[in-house]
Homo-oligomer: A and B are copies of this chain.
Amino acid sequence: MRIHIQNQDDDPPYLFTRAQWEAAVARAPGIGAGHVVSFGTTEQDFVTAMADAEALITNNAAIIGLFPVAAPQLELMFIALAGLDGLAPYDWLPPGVILLNNSGAHSDKAGEFAIMAVLMLANRIPRFVTSQRAGLWRKEWGTTLRGRRVTIVGLGGLGGAAAMQCARFGMHVAGVRTTAVPHQHCAEVIATENLDDVLEQTEFLVLACPLTPATHNLLDRRRLALLPRGAGVVNIARGALLDQNALCDLLDADRLGGAVLDVFTHEPIPDGDRLWSTPNLIVSPHTSADDPASYNAASLHIFFDNLRALHEGRPLPNLFDPARGY
């Protein structure tokens, strides 16, 4: 296959290199060998390659702006980003071209971040950090995780990994997704439309779902207020899933116990924004799912998995549905 890899030249930790490609081929020679692969970073590289490329692999959201571009052979686009919500609406997608997302590449790292955040909330770390900022030695008692109730919204790559970790620590895991289909790491699964029912018993809330029109502002002020006093909130998905101001109000009032947020409605967070100084809130700069040491290898593994499915006529594990938005 004629494959082009378009890099994002301003993001060196994520550059796909020929060495990485060859290492991935060595791990999957049956499906990986024999392709003609080019690498590019500039617009000119991209336009030139599209003249004959059959597949495009990219983590460069900006090049989407170059469509429609002459790409007469293009069959397959693999976008190596965590979520494709930034590329909506999807009217740039050339007719008949298959679009693949990168679901799964971030699972290990995001799952570890999620259980870390839950452990931090159970151990009161956001509160200790706030005390430390004020130079105050203020003891508060934490607990172990066994038997504690966590609700995880979204059970895809990120949420599934979070559920696995939480279950491993003996937590009672409630999963929330579009339809209430059982999940191997969840004690119960609730349909998104019934989210209200589970919030009152939620000690820890983990947001790990895609941002779509259906999930935008899902945790609005009313729903956040349903969480019990002292509950903790983790967001590793997208900032616009929750009402940040309502969350900060609940933290200011000491109604919620703490929050660990990796994503925000505006990134970088503006200077002087209340997020920087809200008590018992820890800001992580949108890095929870990122692991440059393993990310490209994981992405190429996923690409080959889908290529194999395509050759064998099986459903594509990472087929992106523009209508659903994930």
Contacts and interface: CB of A to CB of B under 8 A. Distances in A.
A285 B144 contact: no
A215 interface: no
Interface in A93-128: 108-109, 112-113, 115-116, 119-120, 122-125, 128
Given A13-B141, A137-B269, A141-B287, 8 more contacts: A112-B122, A112-B145, A116-B123, A132-B282, A138-B285, A139-B285, A140-B285, A142-B287
Q: Is the interface of A mostly helix, strand, loop or mixed?
A: loop
22 contacts: A13-B141, A108-B144, A108-B146, A109-B143, A109-B144, A112-B122, A112-B123, A112-B145, A113-B123, A116-B116, A119-B119, A128-B282, A131-B285, A132-B282, A135-B272, A137-B268, A139-B285, A141-B292, A142-B291, A143-B291, A144-B291, A168-B168
Interface string A56-88: 000000000000000000000000000000000
B137 A169 contact: no
- The 3 A-B pairs with the shortest beta carbon distances in the complex, nearest first, are A137-B268, A116-B119, A132-B283
A324 interface: no
A284 B120 CA distance: 11
Contacts of A37: none
A69 to B, nearest CB: 30
A284 B132 CA distance: 8
Contacts of A108: 144, 146
Nearest to A169: B112
Contacts of A140: 285, 287
A135 B286 CA distance: 15
A108 B146 CA distance: 10
Contact of A286 (B109, B139, B283): B139
A19 interface: no
Given A291-B143, A291-B144, A137 B282 contact: no
Interface string A128-161: 1101110101111111111000000000000000
